[in-house]
Chains A and B, each alone.
Chain A
């Protein structure tokens, strides 16, 4: 009996050590830049929010391209990051990078849920590219790719894309401005985007 109790304790001890190591390695993996800071190094959550929200919102908006989702995801990011920020575990010069990583994880969860709803998107293929967009040089290169792809469309195709997507006009307004039927506008925008996608694929 005593032997069994001793063996049980030994297994429990080994399991605890193993669990601690797993947790430690996970925390190192996720928060490589984490260090415990003194209160003098840290800022209030209000200050952090006010200094970082705009860049974070722009980062998220870039990925979702609509205000409704961008607001929700930005909000969720701060809720998830709150305890780390509050405990002063993140160095002030890393706030922005840390929040973007959290936002990226929130987006990843969201895409996973969408994937479960019946699609076969390859997340691993998407993420590296999306991460890369955080780099301004990459972002500017991407912009150049899109702009030069647009120049390869016909004038009419460019106009429909500009009116519908850049200027945000409805199909009805675009039809009026281009003197076309609404059905023709839908067909044109479909063809223009098919061509644009093909050009961007070739250029990239």
Chain B
């Protein structure tokens, strides 16, 4: 019996690690184990499958098209010939591997797989700033602890944040500032700024890149590493050094922009089971003042929340199966429900609506049975976070989480009591009467410049339309106030790729402005005017 308990536990552990189990329902000798393994598999089928990396399907094509693989499947008699051919191919592949830089798909997959096995890591992070003349200086040094649940602890060792301790333990985030003898408390989620070179985020960034190439080898902090050049969609290429032994990132070198470049290195890193509990347990140090940046109060049930907020918060009877209510917080006119969604988080915020909902300029506009819905996927400045916002019966709802858009939509629909219609990406909106020509090279350069922090207004379609209409009205240039007020511009359509802005001013030469995200179709993509309808 004890043996079966252990075997069952090992089976669950292997599946949790997304690895092939040593024994399963088809290979087990015990009838009882077969049944138990099958039950585990069935229960596990309630959750979403772990999907492979983005390069997986590209590699599939290569594997499927590889003549050796096909012949192995179809012509079993030609073993001798095939083995010789395979040997020659292997030698050639080996030579190519050493002589020519290759695509980074395998390195990316290996990184992802290696990170899945990491429970927690501890390292020293050094951030070095370099200029175009090759002069470098250490900007800061941090001690970092992080785990796979997204909890972290950082302590400044050198630089502007020396001695600052920042912790997010999943329940709250705080920063200890010894100079001021203060501890600042923040909500744990959303955590807009975590720390640089967080391994999970870096690997995700590499996975989402449009191109990755292994461009060489190097030694970093005494460890042998492959150098991976990563080109984000429409962005400048940067480099990641991947440890050959652990298969995890060791160093990152950003692109040189405005003659400045940053190199972020784990000068030391090791892996463990967990962050020491004392590092992620909150305790106000003696003599320190606690500063609450989010004065919401944790309550035990909805009726307490109602008393504080002054309205009865909605709580649907049927929610997606993976959502588990973890905590309820309330403030005057506001209630927040914190859900755990299979190790990810969703917050449903309900607050008394004040005026009409004004959608964020970078948001898509969806619809529900009695109005429109603002969808930010992702939220600007935070690629992991998505949000859906709408007003209903005098309450403004925001459903926000680091989950997929589909998961967020189904959670939002539970609170809407109806379907949410996402804007169609394929739909060709109405065509402008006058087309405005553009130069893709200029737009690509502009996107890179915006990525580096210049002209942030280019990611706001309303602002881009305001500048366009203003320049139509004052072709010699804008001095002082814009001739058209931003309040006179109304976004009527936005599906994340194309947007239409209506101009509510008789003085303006255009009544409608048409925009497109030409380079990159996400929250970081710039908007360009592609046409207009004259007044």
A residues sitting closer than 8 Å to B (CB atoms) are: 45-46, 49-50, 53-54, 57-58, 61-62, 64-72, 74-75, 78-83, 85, 110-111, 114-115, 117-119, 121, 142-143, 146-147, 150, 161-162, 164-172, 186-187, 189-190, 193-194, 196-197, 200
Contacts and interface: CB of A to CB of B under 8 A. Distances in A.
Among A58, A74, A79: residue with most chain B CB under 10 A? A79
A57 B49 contact: yes
A118 B9 contact: no
Nearest to B68: A79
Contact of B15 (A66, A75, A85): A66
B27 A67 contact: no
Would you call the interface of chain A mostly helix, strand, loop, or mixed? helix
Most central of B25, B39, B56, B59 by chain A CB within 10 Å = B39
11 contacts: A57-B52, A66-B14, A74-B60, A75-B59, A78-B61, A85-B64, A161-B43, A166-B46, A168-B343, A171-B9, A190-B8
Given A66-B14, A114-B24, A161-B43, A190 B65 contact: no
Given A83-B70, A186-B5, A147 B38 contact: no
A45 B61 contact: yes
B223 interface: no
A193 B41 CA distance: 11
B39 A57 contact: no
B150 to A, nearest CB: 14
B66 to A, nearest CB: 7
Contacts of A71: 52, 56
A143 B36 contact: no
Contact of A49 (B19, B26, B57, B72): B57
B4 interface: yes
Contacts of A65: 15, 40-41, 44-45
A103 to B, nearest CB: 13
Given A49-B64, A186-B9, A189-B12, A142 B24 contact: no
Contacts of B324: 162
Contacts of A57: 49, 51-52, 56
A61 B49 contact: yes
A175 to B, nearest CB: 12
A128 to B, nearest CB: 15
B47 A53 contact: no
B160 interface: no
Contacts of A143: 45-46
Contacts of B342: 166-167
A78 B35 CA distance: 31
B9 A147 contact: no
B492 interface: no
